[in-house]
Amino acid sequence: MISVLSALVWLSLAAPHAAEAATTERVVMNRFTGLAIEGFDPVAYFVDQSPERGLPDYEASQAGAVWRFRNEGNRASFVAHPEIYGPQFGGYDPIDLARGVTVAGNPRFWLISGQRLYLFSRDDNRDAFAADPERGQREAKSHWPAAEQDLAQ
């Protein structure tokens, strides 16, 4: 029994330490892997203008989730400015949020508006937001504090 315990301690010390996730719902993440936005690189939306999967070699912990990136430059940009590169409203769909409902955005349905990333649960919501981004953002912002409080509990 003691040798098993000491082996487990040794393995935990010898294993490389990847970014770790905490339990949170304030950011859309996979509750089994802890990956935010399904492992897509949030900086790639700005740099590559497309959703690109991040790599396990380039991870960072932020807002209780593990974020993956395509390269060290994207990781460094995100770590320095998560408020710019992270999806707004924690990755929840702003159109649904404006209706008072928290629905996880899909990283494949996205839009950059006002130099910020928004994720949507479906194409229709992205199109509605794109038609009047100021209104969509304003309405989502008005519901976000209460939604965020509910998600934290």
Instruction: Confirm if 55 and 70 have CB atoms less than 8 A apart.
Output: yes
What single letter denotes the amino acid at residue 126?
Answer: R
152: how many CB neighbours lie within 10 A of its CB? 9
21-44 burial: b if 16+ Cβ within 10 Å, else e: beebbbbbbeeeebbbbbbbbbbb
Q: In the chain, what are the domain boundaries?
A: 19-82, 87-153
Instruction: Show the tokens assigned to 86.
Output: 């992270």
What pTM value is reported for the model? 0.82
Distance of alpha carbon 66 from alpha carbon 60, whole angstroms: 6
Which mean pLDDT values do the consecutive 10-residue runs of the chain (153 residues) have? Answer: 42 40 66 94 97 97 93 98 95 95 95 96 97 96 88 65
